[in-house]
Structure formats: C-alpha cells, structure tokens
Amino acid sequence: MTLRERAFSLWQATESRLDRAFGAGANPLRRLGAIAFLLFWAAAASGIYLYIFLDTSAAGAWRSVEAVSREQWPIGSVIRGLHRYASDALVVVMFAHLLREYLAGHARGFRWFSWISGVPLIVLLYASGIGGYWLVWDQLALFSATATAEWLDWIGMTSEPFARNFLSSEQVIDRLFTLFIFLHIGLPLALLAGMWVHVQRVSRPDSFPSRNLAAGTAIALVVLAAAWPVQSLPQANPAQVPATLALDWFYLFPHPVMYATSPGALWAMVTGAAVLLLVLPWLGRKSRLPVAVVSAGDCNGCGRCFADCPYSAIVLVPHTSKHLAPRMAEVQPALCAGCGICAGACPSSTPFRSSDAFASGIDMPGRKIAALRGELERALAALRAGPRVVVFGCDRAADVAAVRAADTAALSLICAGMLPPSFVEYALRNGADGVLVTGCADGACDYRFGQRWLEERFAGTREPHLRANVPRERLRVVWAGNGSLPELANCVASFRASLTERRPGDESIMRPKRALQASHAQP
C-alpha cells in the first residue's frame, strides 16, 4: 500500500466516523464539491446585497461598508460576515476537496479532465477573494492592493509599475475602483463558468448538498457571522503604514510570504505549485482499468446504459445492423470509469437467458455478466446448510469474501450498481433463501450512482426493475461501506435469523423454475 493509499484509508476512516453524525449522504467530507457550490452561492448572494450599498468611489467605499455593518445591524453585519466566512470556508473546502480527490487517486485516468479543469479554479478563487478585500478600502485593502501590485510588477508587464497607483491619495482615483468592482464581479463569474466546466465530464453533477447538509452549513456560517462580526480596519491612508494587520490568512497569506522572501520567490512557488498540479495526472504508474464493451448484436439501443452512466461515457449512435435497431450504445473509452453500472442497466444482462455463453448488450471485459451467472450457480450448488444466503458485494466496499460460509455465498462486483435485478430473482429461484446486497456506505457510492440506481431498480421505479413477485422480505440491502465488515457480518446474521423465522410459511414463494443447468455451473 502506498503512502497515498494509506492516507486515503485514514481519510475514509474519518468519513465513516462522520457518517454516524450526518449519514453518508449528508457527510460533509463526502460532499465537498457540493458544499463548494453552496458556499459560492452564499458568497454571491451576500455579495449582491453588499454591492447594493457600496459607494463605488475611493472616498466613499470605506464609509459605505462601515454603514452596512453599523447602521444595518444586525442584518447588514451578519450578511457581511456571511460573505467573508462563506468565502473563507470555500478555500478550506476547495483544498479539502483537492486533497481528497488526490488521495482517492482521482487525479489520474478518466478523471484527468476534472482534475486539470480544477486547477485554474484555485487561481480564480484567489483572484476573486483578494480583489474583494480591496473594495472595503481600509488599511488592509491598501496593504493587499500594494502587495499584489508589487508582486505583479516583478514580471514587468506594464510600462509603469502597478504599485504607483497606491502610493498617494491623489493616485487612488474612482476609476481605479471601477476596475476593482469589475474584477470582483467578473472574476467570480469566470470562477462560476470554470466550475461549470469542471463538472462537465460527469452526469448529474453533485452541485448542491442535501437539505440537511445545506441547512447545517448555512446555520453554522450565520452563527459564526453573528458571533464574530467582521470589522474593517481604519480607512486606507497611503501616508501611513500600519505596524500590524489583522489578516485573513485564507486568502492573504501570499503577501506575508512575499515580504518574507521576495516577489520572485513567490512567483516561483505559485508557478511551481500550478505546474505540479497540472502534470500530476501524468506522473507515476499508469493503470488503465478495462472499459465497458458493447456487443452490437445484443444491443437494441434502449438507452438505459446511456441514462445510467455516471460519467456520460456512453453515447447512442446509429446501429451497425439497421435491422436490429435504429441505434446502439457506444462507449467513449476516455470517459469510462469501468464501473459496470451500464451492464447492470442492460435488459439483456439477465441470467434467465437460455444461452450458455450469452453476451450482454454492454458488458465489462473483466467481469462479464455471463461469468457472474456461472459463478452464482457454482456458489448456489456449493451451499449446504440453510437458510442459504447469497451476498452480492462491491469491490470498493466491505470485502464480502469475509462473510462467505457453508450457508453463505459471496460474490463481489465492480460496483453494486452493476448487479442486474434479475440476478436476485434468479438466485432465489435456484436455491437461495435470501439475497443480501451491499456496497459503499449509504450515499457514498464510489461510482456516484450505483446505490441510487440499484435501489430504484429494486423499488421498480427504474428499468430494468426487480419483478413485483419477488418477495421483498427475502431481499436486504445493506450499505456497509469500506471498513464496516463487523456491521456487515451482523446484518448477514440478522437477515439469516429473519429468514429462519419466516421460512416455514414462505417456502413455496420462490419455487425453482427449473433445475440449474450443469453447463452454467461449470467453471
């Protein structure tokens, strides 16, 4: 296990602990991207309110911001605090998101686009945030504007140094404030556009947290804003240099770094960090997971895989055999995560097909549906004592091999969402007393929609659905997650106990349709 993998295990353990407080679906550590969107909107909405009252002149800006804090207390003060703290929290969440995705190995492979498109967002967020401080035009604003200008001047882009704009009161003119405002509106808009691009490679992006998480985050920020009001420093005066400054370290830490080193050193650090982040997807080992493969002869172009793919890796194209269907699925390998959710969505992935060596319309080369049927049949044939339970698990969650026993068969899939619902019925009809499906922690599917689609298929609200005549008491879904093996073992035991209680009256519910075909059960 590499250092990165060890660190990610630690991160996941922390996530699992937080699941107890929030539930996996509303766990902030699992929803960092969505929280980032929420914080952006909180900063934008509060910023619009503040802009209404901002005097966009060098002489009036400071006074107008102070008026919002003092004359509109407590509403104005809280909204100003919300603007500041939501922006600060956005920095924290952004770096946590970056760290999590790196530790999870998401900088590489098919996710490279999301990684690369995220790098400019860091620059845009800092440019937006630092520029926002200038609008207050207090001592901190003057310090930050001057420091930024000195940094930019190091590369000598302009004939006159930017810093000359902030050296005396007569040089700080209202037109300069127009530029500040243009930057503080334009850059966040560019940031929003960049965030939109950032999530383009995933379908149904997680761009808003659950209601509970959104409410919790909003309440926490409002309480912080009320308890710890944001205050301006004295009005900017170029003739005076404050000895000390109450700095917002989330955004303004580059200024002290520059004064402790030099503008050139800061440029080297920023450029080096950006280059490192940009080349990260191409550093180290290259491991390419097998991607989904379409069998044209078995694809009727129903579009279910297209609808269910969490990464928009499937497109519908004209069918190669027009007499079969007008269109068929086509996998875009560069976008495919290799999760197999498409195979679970394919109506041809049914084990009830009579062919011994059938092919699904779309399948995973390393985990074929036909082979899964054979594995299931062998496992069912090997089960001895009862009640006999089949556990379908997920490679990304608790290792189901640990619950395998004489009365328990365990099969692991790439993702729980890869399981075609008909496999549940097939197992029950062929000797299983119950089927337990498990996967990542609730709401934390590593492939985004595996759980959701599976639950909807079982509930009959998504195709292919689990038939209504399958007794639901013989099916249990447990989102145990990685590292929750004891919980999974307990669930299997309690499920078996419930089957034992029910068994005398239920034996005829799922009578085998036919005996297992020996050929299916052969390795």
Q: What φ, ψ does residue 154 adopt, rounded to 5°?
A: -60, -35
CB of 59 to another protein, least distance (A): 19
Query: Binding residue for another protein (CB under 8 A) from 224, 394, 445, 499?
Result: 224
Site for another protein in 167-196 (CB under 8 A): 167-168
Tell me: does residue 256 bind another protein (CB under 8 A): yes
Site for another protein in 11-30 (CB under 8 A): 18, 20-23, 28
Residue 419 or 444 having the CB closest to another protein: 444
Residue with the two structure tokens 């503080």: 184
d(CA 489, CA 482) in angstroms, rounded, equals 13
Residue type present at position 59: A
Q: What φ, ψ does residue 408 adopt, rounded to 5°?
A: -135, 120
d(CA 426, CA 220) in angstroms, rounded, equals 49
Tell me: does residue 469 bind another protein (CB under 8 A): no
d(CA 477, CA 469) in angstroms, rounded, equals 18
d(CA 202, CA 208) in angstroms, rounded, equals 14
The piece of 115-123, 193-201, 220-228, 465-473 that touches another protein (CB under 8 A) is: 220-228
Residue 113 or 154 having the CB closest to another protein: 154
Query: Binding residue for another protein (CB under 8 A) from 197, 250, 254, 489?
Result: 250
Q: 32-53 and 174-198 are packed helices; what angle lies between their axes, rounded to 10 degrees?
A: 160
Tell me: does residue 259 bind another protein (CB under 8 A): yes
Residue 179 or 220 having the CB closest to another protein: 220
Residue 161 or 386 having the CB closest to another protein: 161
8-state DSSP, 432:
-
Tell me: does residue 254 bind another protein (CB under 8 A): no
d(CA 198, CA 101) in angstroms, rounded, equals 13
Tell me: does residue 116 bind another protein (CB under 8 A): no
d(CA 150, CA 143) in angstroms, rounded, equals 10
Query: Binding residue for another protein (CB under 8 A) from 60, 161, 290, 483?
Result: 161
Residue 239 or 385 having the CB closest to another protein: 239
Residue 203: closest CA among 316, 117, 107, 313: 313
Residue 93 or 403 having the CB closest to another protein: 93
Query: Binding residue for another protein (CB under 8 A) from 32, 78, 89, 437?
Result: 89
| Kind plus residue range of the DSSP H or E element containing 145 | helix 139-153
Query: Binding residue for another protein (CB under 8 A) from 247, 289, 485, 489?
Result: 247
Indicate the SS3 state at residue 283. Answer: coil
Query: Binding residue for another protein (CB under 8 A) from 160, 286, 384, 468?
Result: 160
Query: Binding residue for another protein (CB under 8 A) from 1, 3, 52, 159?
Result: 159
d(CA 95, CA 90) in angstroms, rounded, equals 9
Q: 75-103 and 112-134 are packed helices; what angle lies between their axes, rounded to 10 degrees?
A: 150
The piece of 153-161, 397-405, 429-437, 515-523 that touches another protein (CB under 8 A) is: 153-161
Tell me: does residue 423 bind another protein (CB under 8 A): no
- Count the residues of the shown chain that bind another protein, applying the rule CB under 8 A: 48
Residue 41 or 154 having the CB closest to another protein: 154
Site for another protein in 342-381 (CB under 8 A): none
| Kind plus residue range of the DSSP H or E element containing 408 | strand 408-413
d(CA 478, CA 461) in angstroms, rounded, equals 19
Query: Binding residue for another protein (CB under 8 A) from 178, 200, 240, 522?
Result: 240
d(CA 352, CA 517) in angstroms, rounded, equals 11
Is 338 in contact with 289 (CB distance < 8 Å)?
yes
d(CA 62, CA 84) in angstroms, rounded, equals 16
Residue type present at position 367: R
Query: Binding residue for another protein (CB under 8 A) from 156, 504, 505, 523?
Result: 156
CB of 440 to another protein, least distance (A): 18
Is 117 in contact with 194 (CB distance < 8 Å)?
yes
Tell me: does residue 33 bind another protein (CB under 8 A): no
Tell me: does residue 138 bind another protein (CB under 8 A): no
Residue 31 or 111 having the CB closest to another protein: 31
Q: Which residues bind another protein (CB under 8 A)?
A: 18, 20-23, 28, 84-85, 88-89, 92, 143, 150, 153, 156, 159-161, 163-164, 167-168, 216-217, 220-221, 223-224, 227-228, 230-231, 238-250, 255-256, 259
